[in-house]
Amino acid sequence: MIELHAFDDPRAQARALAEAVSGAVGASLAATVDARTTLAVSGGTSPRAFFDVLAIEPLDWARVDVTLVDDRWVPETDGASNARLVRETLLTQAASAARFLPLVDVGVSLEARIAALNADPSYALPNVAVLGMGEDGHTASLFADAPVHEWTHALATEARYVAVHPGAAPHPRVSLSMSALKRIEHRFLLISGERKLHVLKAAASAPQENAISKLANDKGVRLDVYWSAK
């Protein structure tokens, strides 16, 4: 089920999403007094304003693990690194007290890193996730134009993390799998522009061979969409 929250102003969109995500993280913290809560976020250019607002939210950040929904297989010094974006924008102000769990370690092979992530209990299934979406309908780094065996595996596996080699997009990726996305308790989607809204509505109205359609057409999934016209 998709719940659409529409905004004319991207600043209002960022504020509203930050309040919603903060509320979900806070509720998760309150439900597990002695345990930690994991928040997974996405990279790209869209979440910068949202990160700036979320970073000052008065949460018990010392009990929050921040990780990524996906990342490109590049070192953090690379401008394409989502981990670099998160360190520079979100993990500031109050949120600097959070523990960051990056996905990429270029000191080992991609396959070895995926195996390590799936075996590491520190990288638990996130309680809250903020997703993005491309105009091709990918979310996280689940690209339908990846090699067939990778795409099929990403949709079917119960493992939390998968490796993806997109056909058209640059860089191999580490990504949460489709089953992991479906099992997250609170899911938010941050998108902007008429084109992406059209892609989302088309994907939700009838099954398509892309990740956002696979997610949106699952009857057990609620996706809170924060969309701005600009």
Predicted confidence (pLDDT) per residue in 32-82, tens digit? 877 899 999 999 888 999 999 999 999 999 999 999 999 999 999 999 999
* Structure confidence at residue 225 as a pLDDT band (50, 70, 90): very high
50 within 8 A of 190, measured Cβ to Cβ: yes
44-48, 66-70, 118-122, 134-138: lowest mean pLDDT where? 44-48
State pTM to two decimals: 0.96
* pLDDT for residue 211: 98
Give bridge partners of residue 191 from the DSSP assignment: 227
Q: Residue 212 belongs to what domain range? A: 2-228
Mean pLDDT, residues 135-145: 97
For residues 70 and 68, what is the distance between their CA atoms, to the nearest angstrom?
A: 5
The proportion of the chain whose per-residue pLDDT surpasses 70, expressed as a percent, equals 100
* Structure confidence at residue 129 as a pLDDT band (50, 70, 90): very high
Residue type, 62: A
* pLDDT for residue 45: 83
Residue 107 confidence (pLDDT) above 90: yes
**Antiparallel, parallel or unpaired: β 186-192 and 223-228:** parallel
The mean pLDDT value of the chain amounts to 96
Number of domains into which the chain is organized: 1
* pLDDT for residue 32: 80
C-alpha distance from residue 145 to each of 7, 141, 169, 184 (Å): 31, 11, 9, 25
* Structure confidence at residue 24 as a pLDDT band (50, 70, 90): very high
CATH number for 154? 3.40.50.1360
Residue 103 confidence (pLDDT) above 90: yes
